[in-house]
Amino acid sequence: MRNIALSLTMLFGLIGSAQATDGDVEAGKTKSATCAACHGPDGNATIAMYPKIAGQHAGYIYKQLKEFKLAMETGGKEGRMNAVMGGMVMPLSDQDMKDLSAYFASQTMTAGSTPEDVIPAGQALYRGGDMERGIPACQACHGPRGVGQSLAGFPKVSFQHPEYIKSQLELFRSGERANDMNGMMQDIAVKLTDKEIDIISKYMAGLH
């Protein structure tokens, strides 16, 4: 049954990625002016509470934008609820979202760094997980270098602000964020301790 679910997850990821390829980079650049305050003009947010979206997969950005809007339309019953992003996406058309996704995906994410003291534990968890506790290796979905898999819908996590990664893992763990495919991240995050979330967040920030 899990294999069937994973196959469907991959299929929906492929569909979402294909839809997002219709975006126009130049049009997206023009439309991105309102995004700059939080995410920076090229998608490299300088404020750690906001994610870097430069170089993120277009299909993933598009999915998140659609789900921010869906949450606003359904009162949080579906999609991904965020008051700030919800307000920003409500005026956007589907083409606007595709154009913005294409633009930010075409940019280059600035490099991050990993503190030396978290490398051993972070590497062990990222590469090997913890089979006894049912925690799969992060690299199984996000790749050994953290660049994700665009066709499967798994995002790039390397170079991301550790504060942002930490906040999202905590939201997945609490169930406040539930727009992950097949509930995969919720299932994983609920098994992570506070210390593990802190370590893996810092480790991913400098993952090459």
Q: Please write the tens of the pLDDT for every residue from 47-94.
A: 999 999 999 999 999 999 999 999 999 999 999 999 999 999 999 999
Helices (H), ranges, the chain:
2-20, 25-31, 36-39, 58-73, 83-89, 94-105, 119-128, 139-142, 162-174, 184-189, 194-205
- Rounded CA gap, 125 and 196, in Å? 8
Q: Give the pLDDT of the chain (208 residues) as one tens digit per residue.
A: 444 344 444 444 444 444 556 899 999 999 999 999 999 999 999 999 999 999 999 999 999 999 999 999 999 999 999 999 999 999 999 999 999 999 999 999 999 999 999 999 999 999 999 999 999 999 999 999 999 999 999 999 999 999 999 999 999 999 999 999 999 999 999 999 999 999 999 999 999 7
- Rounded CA gap, 64 and 61, in Å? 5
Helices (H), ranges, 21-130:
25-31, 36-39, 58-73, 83-89, 94-105, 119-128
pLDDT of residue 180: 96
pLDDT of residue 1: 41
